[in-house]
Amino acid sequence: MIKVGSALPDATFSVLANGEMTNPTTQDLFAGKRVAVFAVPGAFTPTCSAAHLPGYVALADKIKAKGIDSIICVSVNDAFVMDAWGKASNAEAIDMLADGDGSFSKAIGLDMDTAGFGGVRSQRYSMVVDNGVVTHLNVEAPGKFEVSDAETLLTSL
């Protein structure tokens, strides 16, 4: 599993914005920037939609005021689902990244297999990445939502 002090691996994501598909890389997203990242097991799922994403939407300005250049939400969903979820959640201040095949989640060791429920998904976590290097990392215990929330991340900045 990735840890504080580790560099993010090279990865490519999918993003649908304004009807156009793009494929930003970790280099595009993190080089020369301080970024808050949080990951969820799935878009439109109960805890993710009721608490995790809304917390970051509500605190986005405060998080960015602490020197964060961007806030990224990652999920093992496709870009169409991530775009729709962002729009449904008023998440204009959040970059909604699709890790469609789970390759990023696997590369950082934060994937989980939910079997027939949904297959490979991301574990729930938050982290701060400074110029591609992890400086803060909060990984949830299975089935929990206690340390990856926006308030905890904001407090750690």
Residues annotated as catalytic are 48
The token duo for 75 is 């999920």
Taking alpha carbons only, the member of 37, 6, 11, 36 closest to residue 26 is: 11
SS3 131: coil
- State residue 155 phi and psi, 5-degree precision: -65, -30
